[in-house]
C-alpha cells in the first residue's frame, strides 16, 4: 500500500533576509526553523533542505542495507550511516557522500561493500536523487 508523508513550510520575507519554519506534519515530531544563512553559511541551530535530505537518505539507505543483508542470511547487528549533502549557492546540491559502518557477523568486507553498493543503487531516496553524484564509503567493523 502506498503512503504519503507531508511537511509544510511557512516562509516570510525575501530569500536573503527572510526565514521560515518547516513542520513534519505526518509524524508530528516537530517544527524547525530554516533560513538562507542556515543553508548557505552556518547552521546556527536551524535546519536546511540539505540536512533534511541527508536525514532521509541516511535512514533510507540503512533500511535498504539492513533488508538486503537480512535477505542474504546475514542480518546486521548494527549499522551507522552518515549522509553528507553538499550545497553550493548558485549551483545547488553538488554531491552526497554516504558513509556506513556495520557490524555484520558472517560476511567479508567485500560482501559488505557489495551489499552497500546494492543498497545505494536501490534505496528509494537514492533513486529520487539520480541527478546527483552519490559516493559511498563502506566499512565492515569486527
Residues 88 and 36 both lie in one domain:
no
Residue 69 and residue 128 share a domain: yes
Its domain, for residue 130, covers 49-140
pLDDT tens digits for range 70-89: 999 999 999 999 999 999 99
pLDDT computed for residue 142 by the predictor: 83
Same domain membership, residue 88 and residue 32: no
Say yes or no: 53 and 28 in one domain.
no
The CA radius of gyration of the chain, in Å to the nearest whole number, is 17
- Count the domains in the chain: 2
Q: Is 34 in the same domain as 98?
A: no
Q: 26-75, pLDDT tens digit by residue?
A: 999 999 999 999 999 999 999 999 999 999 999 999 999 999 999 999 99
What pLDDT, on a 0 to 100 scale, did the predictor assign at position 6?
98
At residue 103, the pLDDT reads 98
Residues 36 and 53 in one domain: no
In the chain, % of residues over pLDDT 90: 99
Same structural domain, 58 and 117: yes
Same domain, 88 and 129: yes
d(CA 17, CA 35): 8
Q: Is 39 helix (H, G, I), strand (E, B) or coil?
A: helix
How much of the chain exceeds pLDDT 70, in percent? 100
Q: Distances from the Cα of 76 to the Cαs of 8, 48, 63, 141, in angstroms? A: 35, 31, 11, 11
**Same-domain check for residues 35 and 85:** no
User: What is the rounded average pLDDT for all residues in the chain?
Assistant: 97
| Count of helices and strands (H, E) across the chain | 4, 6
Amino acid at each position: 500500500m502506498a503512503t504519503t508523508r507531508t511537511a509544510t513550510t511557512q516562509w516570510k520575507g525575501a530569500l536573503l533576509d527572510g526565514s521560515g519554519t518547516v513542520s513534519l506534519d505526518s509524524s508530528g515530531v516537530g517544527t524547525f526553523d530554516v533560513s538562507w544563512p542556515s543553508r548557505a553559511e552556518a547552521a546556527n541551530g536551524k535546519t536546511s533542505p540539505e540536512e533534511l535530505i541527508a536525514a532521509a537518505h541516511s535512514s533510507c539507505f540503512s533500511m535498504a542495507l539492513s533488508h538486503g543483508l537480512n535477505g542474504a542470511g546475514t542480518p546486521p547487528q548494527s549499522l551507522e550511516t552518515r549522509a553528507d549533502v553538499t550545497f553550493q549557492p548558485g549551483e545547488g546540491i553538488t554531491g552526497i557522500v554516504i558513509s556506513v559502518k556495520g557490524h555484520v557477523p558472517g560476511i567479508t568486507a567485500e560482501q559488505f561493500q557489495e551489499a552497500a553498493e546494492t543498497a545505494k543503487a536501490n534505496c528509494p531516496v537514492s533513486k529520487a536523487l539520480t541527478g546527483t553524484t552519490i559516493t559511498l564509503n563502506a566499512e565492515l567493523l569486527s
